[in-house]
């Protein structure tokens, strides 16, 4: 049995299609990434199973995996971002078991190998890991394996992992990535690397010797040409004739040109040499630019990893879903641009972007914390979202313009934020899930010099807490 082949046959096609749409990446890039992700994770599972404690943890995780996801990849992604967030949350647990603190480095290598953005590679790995764990879980159930039986089965998969692991990815990850059980593979890679170094070094030595020999020969030819020219000068003096005064410069030029021609093997001109030199300088400059680009790319990847971590932290709080409340939520039509509309787009978009949302249709009575008329429905819609995702906590912030007393503005903004909290609680959201604060006019969103600007500054915002 080749478990990686089974993954490819049963899961990979659907996962490539669904994940590429969700991540906004090409199917070819996602497919290439999965070609590396599955054997790499499988190799780490085999390495983990060599330790009794690691095998026990792996067995427990695989035995408890949801094997139903293997038969329903398309509908899982079609069920919305909440389902995907739950899947990725499980993947984070798998990565933590197999890679621990080295997960970030693995994500970077997959991104570099496949050409995916760092954030997309991170999400894809966390999507793929639960499918591999579920496939192992299904084999445990089908064969009634215990932990020892699982260890033996995983050991039998070493050859398949060796064959499936892309060489370019393995060399990028380093010889020790797969662990001691794969020494035969990594040792071969090391031997080939050493042999390559010797070949390259030998070629460089040969090239150096050839160049030195050519230059020495050239020096001798030029020297001979100079002697010839000197002889011509002496002959000219002896003859005392005017003809030699004319021929002498021509003889010298001919001798030097002949010597240069011979020095270069009769193949390259001085212009060619200048061109070659220019190319070498250009290559060196290009190498410097490439190095600078690599450094910039590393900084970009690091920044991307920070963003990914923030997105994953928020995404995890959406992984728990109240199905009854979610069904009610699905029937709500959110007004375009409303806080609820913004929050749902954030959820459906994979938790990318700003997790702070502004109430655009919520108003209060002048100088009061009382919510005006029917505008409170915007708060009720946010409550529906929070009830569907019971682990989500939020912070409500009140703001005012700079009209009036500063202390009074802070008091009013506090009261309005508290009024929103009370409305959320009345709709069924627990008070422990909501914090509030009023900032008065200290954090304007626009200029207070115009009425339009002051209107924008009188606002309530709600943020998702990580």
pLDDT at 340: 93
Let me know whether 280 and 361 are in one domain: no
Q: With contact defined as beta carbons under 8 Å apart, do 3 and 157 qualify?
A: yes
Exposed / middle / buried, residue 96 (Cβ in 10 Å: 0-12, 13-18, 19+) = exposed
Q: With contact defined as beta carbons under 8 Å apart, do 150 and 140 qualify?
A: yes
pLDDT band at 238 (very low <50, low <70, confident <90, very high): very low
Q: Per mean pLDDT, which range of 117-131, 306-320, 395-409, 435-449 is the poorest?
A: 306-320
Q: How far is residue 211's CA from residue 264's CA, in Å, rounded to a whole number? A: 10
pLDDT at 167: 85
Q: At residue 26, what are phi and psi to the nearest 5 degrees? A: -70, 150
Q: Per mean pLDDT, which range of 6-10, 78-82, 368-372, 410-414 is the poorest?
A: 78-82
pLDDT band at 44 (very low <50, low <70, confident <90, very high): very high
In the chain, DSSP finds a helix count (H) and a strand count (E) of 19, 4
Let me know whether 346 and 281 are in one domain: no
| 384 belongs to a structural domain | yes
Let me know whether 154 and 234 are in one domain: no
Q: How far is residue 189's CA from residue 392's CA, in Å, rounded to a whole number? A: 48
Answer with the residue of higher pLDDT: 324 or 296: 324
For the segment 323-334, the average pLDDT, to the nearest whole number, is 87
pLDDT beyond 50 at 202: no
Question: What is the percent of the chain where pLDDT is above 90?
Answer: 46
pLDDT at 456: 92
pLDDT beyond 80 at 140: yes
What pLDDT, in 10s, does the model give residues 63-122?
999 998 998 888 888 877 888 888 999 999 999 999 988 888 899 999 999 999 999 999
How many folded domains does the chain comprise?
3
pLDDT at 349: 82
Let me know whether 347 and 454 are in one domain: yes
| 90 belongs to a structural domain | yes
> Which helix or strand (DSSP H or E) is residue 156 part of?
none
Answer with the residue of higher pLDDT: 298 or 158: 158
| 194 belongs to a structural domain | no
Let me know whether 306 and 331 are in one domain: no
pLDDT band at 190 (very low <50, low <70, confident <90, very high): very low
Strand, coil or helix: 192: helix
Q: What are the residue ranges of helices labelled H in 99-241?
A: 103-114, 118-143, 147-155, 158-164, 167-173, 183-239
Let me know whether 353 and 439 are in one domain: yes
Q: With contact defined as beta carbons under 8 Å apart, do 34 and 15 qualify?
A: yes
pLDDT beyond 90 at 418: yes
Residue with tokens 């040109």: 257
Between CA 317 and CA 76, with CA 344 as vertex, the angle to 5 degrees is 65
| 336 belongs to a structural domain | yes
Provide the mean pLDDT of the chain.
78
Domain boundary pick from 251, 278, 313: 313
| 186 belongs to a structural domain | no
pLDDT beyond 70 at 241: no
Q: At residue 336, what are phi and psi to the nearest 5 degrees? A: -60, 130
CB environment 288-307: b (16+ within 10 A), e (fewer): eeeeeeeeeeeeebeebbee
pLDDT band at 275 (very low <50, low <70, confident <90, very high): low
pLDDT at 217: 45
Q: Per mean pLDDT, which range of 23-32, 127-136, 203-212 is the poorest?
A: 203-212
Let me know whether 170 and 295 are in one domain: no
Residue 337 belongs to domain spanning:
323-465
CB environment 114-137: b (16+ within 10 A), e (fewer): bebbbbbbbbbbbbbbbbbbbbbb
| 391 belongs to a structural domain | yes
List Cβ<8 Å contacts ≥24 apart for 95-99: 95/125, 95/126, 95/129, 97/48, 97/54, 97/57, 97/58, 97/61, 98/41, 98/44, 98/45, 98/48, 99/44
For residue 179, the tally of other CB atoms under 10 A from its CB is: 16
Let me know whether 12 and 123 are in one domain: yes
Q: With contact defined as beta carbons under 8 Å apart, do 423 and 383 qualify?
A: yes
Report DSSP state, residue 115: -
| 183 belongs to a structural domain | no
Question: What is the percent of the chain where pLDDT is above 70?
Answer: 71
pLDDT at 311: 55
Q: Per mean pLDDT, which range of 121-125, 154-158, 196-200 is the poorest?
A: 196-200
Q: With contact defined as beta carbons under 8 Å apart, do 85 and 318 qualify?
A: yes
Let me know whether 358 and 420 are in one domain: yes
List residues bridging with 398 in a β-sheet.
438, 460
pLDDT beyond 80 at 224: no
Q: With contact defined as beta carbons under 8 Å apart, do 312 and 92 qualify?
A: yes
Domain boundary pick from 272, 287, 313: 313
Report DSSP state, residue 371: B
pLDDT band at 310 (very low <50, low <70, confident <90, very high): low
pLDDT at 173: 87
Let me know whether 142 and 218 are in one domain: no
Let me know whether 49 and 168 are in one domain: yes
Answer with the residue of higher pLDDT: 76 or 286: 76
pLDDT band at 364 (very low <50, low <70, confident <90, very high): very high
Strand, coil or helix: 405: coil
Strand, coil or helix: 52: helix
Q: At residue 230, what are phi and psi to the nearest 5 degrees? A: -65, -40
Let me know whether 232 and 119 are in one domain: no
Nearest Cα residue to 12 out of 142, 174, 179, 164: 164
| 92 belongs to a structural domain | yes
Q: At residue 426, what are phi and psi to the nearest 5 degrees? A: -60, -30
Structure token pair of residue 327 = 């069904």
Domain boundary pick from 255, 283, 313: 313
């Amino acid at each position: 049995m080749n478990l990686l082949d089974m993954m490819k046959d049963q899961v990979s096609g659907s996962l490539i299609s669904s994940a590429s749409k969700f991540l906004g990446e090409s199917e070819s890039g996602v497919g290439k990434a999965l070609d590396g992700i599955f054997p790499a994770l499988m190799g780490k599972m085999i390495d983990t199973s060599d330790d009794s404690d690691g095998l026990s943890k792996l067995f427990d995780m695989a035995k408890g995996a949801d094997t139903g996801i293997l038969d329903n990849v398309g509908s899982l992604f079609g069920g919305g971002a909440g389902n995907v967030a739950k899947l990725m949350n499980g993947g984070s647990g798998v990565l933590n078991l197999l890679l621990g603190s080295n997960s970030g480095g693995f994500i970077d290598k997959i991104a570099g190998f496949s050409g995916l953005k760092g954030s997309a590679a991170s999400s894809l790995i966390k999507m793929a890991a639960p499918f591999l764990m579920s496939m192992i879980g299904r084999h445990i159930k089908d064969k009634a394996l215990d932990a020892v039986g699982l260890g033996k089965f995983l050991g039998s998969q070493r050859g398949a992992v060796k064959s499936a692991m892309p060489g370019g990815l393995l060399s990028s990850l380093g010889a020790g990535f797969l662990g001691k059980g794969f020494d035969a593979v990594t040792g071969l890679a090391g031997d080939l690397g050493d042999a390559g170094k010797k070949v390259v070094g030998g070629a460089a030595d040969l090239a150096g010797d050839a160049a030195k020999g050519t230059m020495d020969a050239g020096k001798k030819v030029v020297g001979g040409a100079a002697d010839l020219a000197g002889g011509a000068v002496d002959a000219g003096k002896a003859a005392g004739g005017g003809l030699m005064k004319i021929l002498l410069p021509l003889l010298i030029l001919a001798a030097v040109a002949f010597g240069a021609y011979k020095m270069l093997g009769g193949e390259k001109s001085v212009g060619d040499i200048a061109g070659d030199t220019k190319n070498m300088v250009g290559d060196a400059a290009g190498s410097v630019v490439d190095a600078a680009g690599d450094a910039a790319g590393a900084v970009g990847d690091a920044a991307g990893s920070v963003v990914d971590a923030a997105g994953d932290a928020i995404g995890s709080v959406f992984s728990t879903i109240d199905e009854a409340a979610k069904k009610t939520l699905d029937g709500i039509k959110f007004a375009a641009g409303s806080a609820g509309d913004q929050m749902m787009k954030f959820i459906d978009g994979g938790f990318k972007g700003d997790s702070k949302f502004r109430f655009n249709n919520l108003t209060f009575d002048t100088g009061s914390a009382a919510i005006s008329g029917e505008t409170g429905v915007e708060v009720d819609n946010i409550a529906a979202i929070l009830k569907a995702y019971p682990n989500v906590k939020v912070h409500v912030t009140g703001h005012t313009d700079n009209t009036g007393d500063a202390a009074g503005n802070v008091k009013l903004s506090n009261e309005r934020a508290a009024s929103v909290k009370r409305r959320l609680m009345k709709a069924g959201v627990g008070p422990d899930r909501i914090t509030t604060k009023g900032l008065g006019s200290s954090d304007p969103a626009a200029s207070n010099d115009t009425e339009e600007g002051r209107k924008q500054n009188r606002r309530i915002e709600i943020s998702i807490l990580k």
